[in-house]
Copies of this chain bind each other. A is one copy, B any other.
Amino acid sequence: MTASNDEKWIDKKISRRDMLKLSGIGVAGVAIGASGFGGVMKAMGYNVFEPVADSTTARNKVDFYGGHQSGINTAVQTHIYFASLNVLITSKKELQELFKKWTPLVVHLMNGELMVDLTTNTRVPTGDTGEAEGLDAANLSITFGVGPSLFEKFGISHLKPAELVDLPHFPKDQLQKEFTGGDLCIQACANDPQVAFHAVRNLVRAASGKVEIKWSQSGFNSFPAGGGTPRNLFAFKDGTVNPSITDEQDLNKVVWVDKGWLKGGSYLVARKIQMHLETWDRTSLKDQEATFGRYRDSGAALGKTKEFEDFDVEAKDEKGEYVMPDTSHVHLARKSGARILRRSYSYASGVMSNTGAHDAGLLFISFQKDPAQFVTVQNSLGRMDKMNEYITHRGSAVFACFPGVQKGSYLGEALFNAL
């Protein structure tokens, strides 16, 4: 390794004063050996994980600090790596320390910086797995949530919001344990798949022995060159009726929790939905459109011509039939009266080894101030939804996503303050 390489591994956050302290230790004869500078600095009580600022110079950077976590009212990126984690520790103190440790690492990641261990020593594992080196921040957002099981595991059920309960069984659910539940989630979204994966990999690695991945799923969204709503793998535009992410007043109604330690946070619902592409592809365009309740090409509601044109779900034609069939997905979803912020990604994970059918579909993700909003929509779809013929829900989870973090604070502080 060259000298210039070595320099790169020295975290720029070390102040000159600290270097003097280190030199002092060197003089005092403390061996800077196998444990590296990082170990030495920890040994001397140096806070390796002091607050890190949002970069003001990074390219394609989403800010970490603010009233809400990133990845909710952040413009949807092209890639996701979503991980649901089991927590292996049992002490509340350790859990709190974990979030304190994660917080500055998340800022580094979102800055597009290496999560560097303070070491020039190549004889220890590096502080960052390194595969994102040379890539920019790629609009990385990172969102943490806690699941219902976490509260039971730590004996803090009294702090579990009443809204945070496992989703009920829905008709046609065929959930698989290996894609369901989790104590914690990390949602990493970026405009580069390697940046998103790198974030989850490194956060889990930094918590080695404390958490393990229960299940994870990568996904993608492809945007038309001129912008606009991406199409899912059924080729229909997905997300048309979403609340605007810039309309804070509307988000207050739909997305942000307004009470308790979760105030400013939101509930994340994740559903791994397999889409039976072969069945869909044998269906006529007319039937596909009657299933969605929208035109495939324009995304407009049936009977309308423009994607964002409003529609009357009860409108009937001259024969007295619903313009938008009452078994269509959009008809039933609209009729539920409930609103959610969808932030879904497609996945294509090879084929089912038993059938050769595509193992592809939608990693459905929605944010809402109460999971009941999602439940209302899903119950309205119920057994009626024509879409049921073409999809199977394989995975499910719900998480309470912390409010945003102010500099000097850490992820989940409001929860730990309430302990």
Tell me whether A2 and B305 are in contact (CB under 8 A). yes
List 14 contacting pairs A-B, 8 Å CB cutoff, sorted by A.
A1-B285, A86-B356, A125-B282, A129-B280, A129-B281, A131-B222, A131-B231, A133-B297, A135-B225, A178-B353, A194-B220, A213-B351, A213-B358, A218-B349
Q: How far is the CA of A225 from the CA of B191 in the complex (A)?
A: 12
| A212 contacts the other chain (CB 8 A) | yes
Besides A197-B348, A215-B350, 6 other A-B contacts (C-beta < 8 A): A2-B300, A59-B225, A126-B284, A126-B285, A195-B222, A205-B278
A214 at the interface (CB under 8 A from B): yes
Whether A320 sits at the interface, judged by CB under 8 Å, is: no
Using Cβ atoms and an 8 Å threshold, which residues of chain B touch A131? 222, 231-235
Check: A31 CB closer than 8 A to any chain B CB: no
Residue on B with the closest CB to A135? B222
Shortest C-beta distance, A8 to chain B (Å), equals 6
Closest 10 pairs between A and B when the two form their complex, measured CB to CB:
A130-B235, A134-B224, A194-B222, A122-B286, A122-B285, A131-B235, A193-B220, A212-B356, A178-B353, A5-B297
B-side contacts of A300, CB under 8 Å: 2
Which B residues touch A23, using CB under 8 A? none
| Interface footprint category on A | 35 or more
Beta-carbon contact of B277 and A228 below 8 Å = no
**A354 (CB) vs chain B CBs: closest residue:** B178
Residue of B at shortest CB range from A130?
B235
Closest to A302 in B: B1
Q: Does any Cβ of B come within 8 Å of A298's Cβ?
A: yes
Question: Which A127-155 residues sit within 8 Å CB-CB of chain B?
Answer: 129-136
Question: Is the beta-carbon distance between A231 and B81 smaller than 8 angstroms?
Answer: no
Rounded to whole angstroms, the CA-CA distance of A358 and B297 in the bound complex is 38
A136-B225, A284-B122 given as contacts; is B348 within 8 A of A193 (CB)? yes
- Say yes or no: B350 contacts A297, CB within 8 Å: no
Report whether A5 and B298 are in contact in the complex, using a CB–CB cutoff of 8 Å: yes
- Point out the residues of chain B lying under 8 angstroms from A59, CB to CB: 225
Instruction: Pick the contact of A228: B134, B222, B286, B351 (CB < 8 A).
Output: B134
What's the Cα separation between A297 and B278 when bound, in Å? 45
Contacts of A224 in B (CB 8 A): 134-135
State how many angstroms separate the Cβ of A222 from the closest Cβ of chain B.
4
Interface residues of A in 246-281 (CB under 8 A from B): 277-278, 280-281
B134 and A295 within 8 A (CB): no
Q: Does B193 lie within 8 Å of A277, measured CB to CB?
A: no
Task: Give complex CA distance A360, B205 in Å.
Answer: 15
Instruction: Assess whether A213 is in contact with B122, with CB atoms less than 8 Å apart.
Output: no
A189–B90 Cα gap in the complex (Å)? 46
A319 within 8 A of B: no
- A217, B5: Cβ atoms under 8 Å? no
Q: How far is the CB of A419 from chain B (nearest CB, A)?
A: 28
Q: Residue-by-residue, is A331-360 near B (CB-CB < 8 Å gives 1, otherwise 0)?
A: 000000000000000101111010010101
Nearest B-chain residue to A222, judged by Cβ: B194
User: A242 contacts the other chain (Cβ, under 8 Å)?
Assistant: no
CB distance from A237 to the nearest CB of B (A): 9
**Chain B positions within 8 Å of A178 at CB level:** 353
Indicate if the CB atoms of B215 and A351 lie closer than 8 Å: yes
Assess whether A125 is in contact with B284, with CB atoms less than 8 Å apart.
Answer: yes
| A91 located at the interface, meaning its Cβ lies under 8 Å from any Cβ of chain B in the complex | no
Structural contact, A213 and B356, CB atoms closer than 8 A:
yes
In the complex, what residues of B have CB within 8 A of residue A234's CB? 131
Distance (whole angstroms) from the CB of A250 to the closest CB of chain B: 27
Q: In the complex, A215→B349 CA distance in Å?
A: 10
A216 interfacial contact with B, CB 8 Å: yes
